[in-house]
Amino acid sequence: MIACYTDALSACPGETVRLFASSTDPDCRLEIARVGAAREVVADLAVPGVIDAPTPPNADRDGCSWPEALTFPVGADWRSGYYDLVLRNGAGESTHHVLVVKPKPDGPRARAALVLSTNTYHAYNWWGGANSYCDVTRLLARQGTLPECMEGAIGVLSAQRPFAQNIVAMPPGGPRLMNEGVRAFGERPRTDKPAFWREHGLSPYDGAAGFLNKWEHLFVAWAEGEGIALDYFTDFDLEAGPQVLAPYACMLAVGHSEYWSAPQRDAVEAFVDGGGRLAIFSGNTCYWKVRWEDGGRTLVAHKWKGETAEPGAGANGTHMWSHPNFARPEAQLTGLTFLYGGYHRLGMCAANGSGAYTVYDDSHWALAGADVWYGDALGLATPLLAYENDGCLMTFGEDGLPKAVPRLGVPEALQIIAIAPVSFGEDRTKGYRPVLPPEDFTQAARVAFGDDSAAAQSRLLRGHAVMASFHRGRGEVFNAGTTEWAYGLAAGDPHLKAITLNVLRRFGAL
């Protein structure tokens, strides 16, 4: 009934933004509000004459091509941050969209840059039908099973369309991507807050991307409460301007920074190698390699189909960053990979797990003053571990501490701080109906272990979440190894607060 999108997801103060909209009621208003620890409305604009524009076939792939409804300038006094665009019509209907305001090019800067995971927003966006995972509209209409609807996933996605509303405007109190409590004896696991899922019509993909009331929002609210200044960028900003990070001491990736393009990764690697610091409070980080086309209007993300969808693409193709076609496993930059990690307290993946890390290296600089010691559980109450977590292969040294196995880009000098068992997927022989969408275990095992045998596929089920750090070039990387870190901060966990502040101080963000 009402929907909108913009020509780009980010702009600097003084630049103009074009809004495209459709509404059955022509008299609309646009509210623009910065969202952090508080919501600050910065503009309320009339948008008259909005037409009821048709949604073209294949809008998910080709975009909407709606007429321009409004052009507005980014205010000179708008602080860098995430801005919620809310378009309302006279019938009382509303829709949300995203704008990231970057810092003024010639103005004062924070010491840390937060790069919002907007590539991931796009990959999960199913407005118009499908996303990179599934034909979600068909799935919600119960017109096929989940595996059948997953065959309708698309590898070419338009950025010129609205977002599914539960991705960009999840109501407060939304569910976490985890089981609702620890699984009781003989009990089938179920998702968190099932009544909320039904009431708000959530798809299986709505909770995995987006800002409002999710990981990035929680982290930002915590940071602003601590007086920590951040400048904001999108993933695509690193592609469009590879020197974007140059003025900063530290870059932060938070929550679920899953999809990275090659120019984006080049920019981050150059930043770290030149002495920058990368703080990763994210899980499943830099896992899928994607490609932008049409000046940022089209995202190519073939995922598992990347081996066959573009047979001649070579290093320009899209698949896992760890795929041998690219010879650039993400662990070379992040230290860890989801292939050696997995899920915790989700479905049958560590369904009775503690939700906490077990601390091993209590002498690591990140734990100074955090009041945690060898063998302690870190994040029991929150719980800290749930959805997606990154890890590495490891052995134990004579000192009793875990040592990284330098495989698939994992650095030999990785300093492992804490670990927990996780699983890349559910063991479907256990007699419980699976909760998670099925992964392609054949391709994953081939990339992870060079072998797609049944034994190698089974090995994927026994991974570890890992918290770690390492030096790369003249810079340094800290990786919390989990999507859920921000939930611990939001819950007021004093141990996680101390660790986060240690990282930000050491990395020059404070």
pLDDT in tens, 228-285: 999 999 999 999 998 999 999 999 999 999 999 999 999 999 999 999 999 999 999 9
C-alpha span between 163 and 140 (Å, rounded):
16
Helices and strands in the chain, H and E counts = 15, 25
Domain final residue pick, 54, 76, 108: 108
At residue 294, what is the residue type?
D
Residues 6+ apart with CB under 8 A from 309: 155, 302, 318
Residues in the chain, how many? Answer: 510
The answer to whether residue 183 sits within a structural domain is no
Residues 235, 103 share a domain:
no
The answer to whether residue 140 sits within a structural domain is no
- The pLDDT score that the predictor gives to residue 390 is 98
Residues 91, 233 share a domain:
no
Segment 77-127, tens digit of pLDDT: 999 999 999 999 999 999 999 999 999 998 889 999 999 999 999 999 999
CATH number at residue 21: 2.60.40.1930
With tokens 């708000």, the residue in question is 200
Residues 240, 100 share a domain:
no
Q: Is a pLDDT exceeding 90 seen at residue 206? A: yes
The answer to whether residue 445 sits within a structural domain is yes
With tokens 């530290």, the residue in question is 250
Mean per-residue pLDDT over the chain, rounded: 96
- Asked whether the beta carbons of 102 and 115 are under 8 A apart, the reply is no
C-alpha span between 464 and 100 (Å, rounded):
34
- Joined together, the tokens standing for residue 19 give 């809004």
- The pLDDT score that the predictor gives to residue 404 is 98
C-alpha span between 404 and 408 (Å, rounded):
11
C-alpha span between 69 and 95 (Å, rounded):
14
The answer to whether residue 308 sits within a structural domain is yes
CA 108 from centre of chain: 28
Of residues 226 and 431, which shows the higher confidence score? 226
C-alpha span between 266 and 448 (Å, rounded):
23
C-alpha span between 277 and 504 (Å, rounded):
9
The answer to whether residue 473 sits within a structural domain is yes
At residue 33, what is the residue type?
A
Phi, psi at 449, each rounded to 5°: -130, 0
- The pLDDT score that the predictor gives to residue 334 is 98
Residues 239, 98 share a domain:
no
- Asked whether the beta carbons of 15 and 76 are under 8 A apart, the reply is no
Domain final residue pick, 108, 135, 168: 108
Range of the domain at 63: 2-108
Phi, psi at 450, each rounded to 5°: 70, 25
C-alpha span between 325 and 318 (Å, rounded):
9
Q: Is a pLDDT exceeding 90 seen at residue 434? A: no
- Asked whether the beta carbons of 417 and 374 are under 8 A apart, the reply is no
Task: Say if strands 68-73 and 16-23 run parallel, antiparallel, or are unpaired.
Answer: antiparallel
The answer to whether residue 297 sits within a structural domain is yes
To 5 degrees, how large is the angle CA 226–CA 227–CA 231? 115
Q: Is a pLDDT exceeding 90 seen at residue 430? A: no
- Asked whether the beta carbons of 233 and 9 are under 8 A apart, the reply is no
The answer to whether residue 249 sits within a structural domain is yes
- Identify the helix (H) or strand (E) that includes residue 378: strand 377-378
CB atoms within 10 A of CB 128: 25
Residues 464, 335 share a domain:
yes
Nearest to 354 by CA among 373, 375, 371: 375
Domain count, the chain: 2
The answer to whether residue 196 sits within a structural domain is no
C-alpha span between 441 and 454 (Å, rounded):
9
